[in-house]
Amino acid sequence: MKRAISFVLLFLMLGVNIYADKTSNLFVIERSKNANVVSYDAVLTDDGKINEKFPIDAYWLLYAYKNGEREELSAFDKKAYGFKAKYNAEKQNFDFVLKAAKDKPMTIDLYDGVAKAVIKINNVDCFLEKVYIGSVDGAFGIPNVSFYELFGTEVSNGAKQQQKIVVK
């Protein structure tokens, strides 16, 4: 058992995705700063359900300078791109909130066997596809977010939705 845990820890330290064949992309966060994106994937069990203990895998895709290679989120990154996911036994789905957008809660569930994030965009339930963050560099190179945009498709009819939210 100790040996198995050691291998998992080694893979995590090296940035190896131990869920490589058991994930389903939910959405990405793009930024005005550069081409790197944060990807959020649902972690699936062997029988295709969302893993109750570790439902979400979030990581960088480094398009700006490493050809889209995967890199784990650092502790600092998690302050902005972290999340909380909690299984809702009553609804049999997951309540999901991004730390940077606590006012926009989501649910994660399976739709026709595919994991999807559902969020309100323009007060309509939508499958979230991406979030775009507009920012400018602030003190010490830390970006100041001026707005973010949500992009998705309506759950009921597949119509595209987009909403810009200005941060004050």
73-88 pLDDT, tens per residue?
Answer: 999 999 889 999 999 9
Residue 4: inside a domain: no
Residue 127 lies in a domain: yes
| 8 part of a folded domain | no
Where residue 20 falls among pLDDT bands split at 50, 70, 90? very low
Res 15: pLDDT: 46
Is 43 domain-assigned?
Answer: yes
**DSSP one-letter string for 139-153:** GGGPEEEEEEEEEEE
- Summarised one tens digit per residue, pLDDT across range 116-136 is 999 999 999 999 999 999 988
Residue 91 — pLDDT band, cuts 50, 70, 90? Answer: very high
The per-residue pLDDT for range 95-120, each reduced to its tens digit, is 999 987 888 999 999 999 999 999 99
End-to-end CA distance of the chain: 50
Banded model confidence at residue 137, pLDDT cuts 50, 70, 90 = confident
Is residue 131 one of the residues assigned to a domain?
Answer: yes
What are phi and psi for residue 18, nearest 5 degrees? -75, -5
Question: Looking at the domain assignment, is residue 7 inside a domain?
Answer: no
pLDDT of the residue at 114: 95
pLDDT of residue 2: 56
User: What integer is the mean pLDDT of 27-55?
Assistant: 94
**Which pLDDT value is given to residue 19?**
45
Question: Confidence band (pLDDT; 50, 70, 90) for 162?
Answer: very high
- Average pLDDT on 6-23 reads 50
pLDDT reported for residue 62: 96
Residue 13 lies in a domain: no
Is the CB of residue 111 less than 8 Å from the CB of residue 126? Answer: no
State pTM to two decimals: 0.84
Q: Pairing state of beta strands 106-111 and 93-98?
A: antiparallel
**How many domains would you assign to the chain?**
1
| Enclosing domain of residue 58 | 22-166
